[in-house]
Structure 1
């Protein structure tokens, strides 16, 4: 199978890189330092179609696929992982879930403004006592007078408080369900943004529902179908996070190559030393392998093939490559790599969470092992 991008995909990647070099990269250090959500940058992406890459044109998107979406996510994350996280959640979970499982009315009302970048999306799945075990969520939804009365709390909601549309997972009398809530719904509250180690410019917060009234027509799919909806959505999310991780690793590699060619010690650039060369080679080789795995997985997804195992492999490998690559990049820079004046410490902080959110590496290994061994649990 050829992994060569076609001319249109090359153009998408080039356009994304040019935009990010111009609009995203120059402010990446500042928004990280100030913990400032990059809403203005997100708005600038909308006219380019970056907020609806994989959504059909009928619903306001560009009509491309998962592969094209990963190209954009990679380029955004190469310049600013915080902005990349916002795009990942919006593009690789919220929009695909609504297009795949939503009613025609929901697509018209919610998906079109999401795909056109007029509104921002988020999902609320994780709870204080429910992480990777999504079947243990405690948020409850009770149908009353054609509205679901929802009570519970969610944590680690990426885009929390900034997004306009939220997919909220809850348990009802007929099983688990996915509901669309809108910012401004009565009795829907947000906690203050968490102070994160990395991706500090994201808005990650708790969400509280206290007798929150959500119209019955905002139910996605059928009652009892939400676990399948979440699991399918997580496949897209993991591909997006994998692309984000490769973007971070690529930034670390490019910065290190530039530094190795300029930094002179013992009368020659440090790039002449084999110890430095080996670190750069290891980084470049692993990044290219991770990218190929992601592109293959994305292509499988676009062909409608089962890609659960491949998505977990892509996220597992790419996230750990990002962690290793940023660690090596700090070594290449020596003492300067440890200084906040250089971007390496930001890359390292940002890389770490790619191996955590969307389920950590240990869960990815469990998923892959169960499929390899034929286990159903």
Structure 2
């Protein structure tokens, strides 16, 4: 292990990624992707060629086997430079790779997991609806069986990456709403299927893959598109809360960690280069204290994120720890980035510097994947605090 406690294969992976980022994701190009809301498909394809989208795919399907810590490391590194690339990687390795590995049918795994490993096939989550956020079991989008098909009607909101994904991984209601948790199913819906309409949302940050409102008007998909096959009908809730939500929390923490690291690195370098009153501003005590604070907070965030990932890798109970990591890292990373912007002064506010993008991207992190308020509720409940 190195001084940061990383195993040798993780050290090599981090070094490989940093070389890849400098070559394939230079700052000027990343700025263009952000300003023009471009998804760099060619960069995503190169990540797949390196085998990085196979870190959640079993070897029998062409991957390198499930390694959550390595996956989190890749997310951190990519997001330290570009959310356009980092979010797409999550849609492939996590949304597609992890869910298919854990809860899909044998036929679905055989058909799709090799494509995740070799092509970087992506899923977009279709969970949130116009009137449904944290209470996912109350989704209203319906899927009614007609023979060997499901007819889907309804709407989803904040469906990130829908236009660049092969499938929308949608939570739908396949039975009476009165039995809230027992009549839900997860269904793969192609975004280009007849009856699917994508309406882009103009968000402050997270440019590249895009975020969409999605409507389903008598959309027909085969019953075989139900996750788990026909036996998966009505089993959506158990499949959703199994591998997906706990790991999603540390995925989002890793995203925030990456953004924070980019901001800390830029502020650290800027403070040594920016000269005022004949000296670099890093010699000013107030600036030194801010730099010391963000470095310290970042280290705490790093330790919490990778501790949670290690617990998941070890198949230890980790629901509370992943919720704690999501809460602490996302809230703290926001504070880190805003402090780094303050260190850079007016230069941290203009689009010519990456700091302005870090600020826009970090502000959503305490909301994604379950808000900070929801995480506090989860932690109190998981630790059995009396109501």
Scaled by the length of structure 2, what TM-score is found? Answer: 0.93
- 1:139 and 1:128 map into 2 onto residues whose CA distance is 10
Check conservation: 2:169, 2:186, Cα contact below 8 A: yes
The offset of 1:60, in angstroms, is 2.5
Structure 1 residues without counterparts, runs of 5 or longer = none
2:94 matched to which residue of 1? 92
Residues 262-304 of structure 1, C-alpha deviations (whole Å, 9 max, x = no match): 1111221111111111111111111111111111111111111
1:146 matched to which residue of 2? 148
1:18 matched to which residue of 2? 19
1:181 matched to which residue of 2? 189
- 1:28 and 1:168 map into 2 onto residues whose CA distance is 30
2:295 matched to which residue of 1? 284
2:178 matched to which residue of 1? none
- 2:323 and 2:84 map into 1 onto residues whose CA distance is 22
SS of structure 2 residue aligned to 1:284: helix
Check conservation: 1:89, 1:237, Cα contact below 8 A: no
The offset of 1:118, in angstroms, is 4.6
1:217 matched to which residue of 2? 224
2:158 matched to which residue of 1? 156
Matches within 5 A, 1:108-257: 108-173=110-175, 175-191=183-199, 193-221=200-228, 222-232=232-242, 233-257=244-268
The number of aligned residues is 375
Check conservation: 1:3, 1:292, Cα contact below 8 A: no
Structure 2 residues without counterparts, runs of 5 or longer = 176-181
SS of structure 2 residue aligned to 1:198: coil
- 2:92 and 2:250 map into 1 onto residues whose CA distance is 13
Scaled by the length of structure 1, what TM-score is found? Answer: 0.95
- 2:210 and 2:10 map into 1 onto residues whose CA distance is 30
- The match for 1:56 among 55, 58, 63 is 58
SS of structure 2 residue aligned to 1:51: helix
2:321 matched to which residue of 1? 310
The offset of 1:375, in angstroms, is 6.3
- The match for 1:273 among 284, 293, 307 is 284
SS of structure 2 residue aligned to 1:79: coil
Check conservation: 2:53, 2:120, Cα contact below 8 A: no
SS of structure 2 residue aligned to 1:61: coil
- 2:123 and 2:63 map into 1 onto residues whose CA distance is 14
SS of structure 2 residue aligned to 1:116: helix
Residues 185-235 of structure 1, C-alpha deviations (whole Å, 9 max, x = no match): 3322322x2211011223211222111112112212323321222223111
1:7 matched to which residue of 2? 8
SS of structure 1 residue aligned to 2:363: helix
CA RMSD of aligned residues (A): 1.8
The offset of 1:339, in angstroms, is 1.4
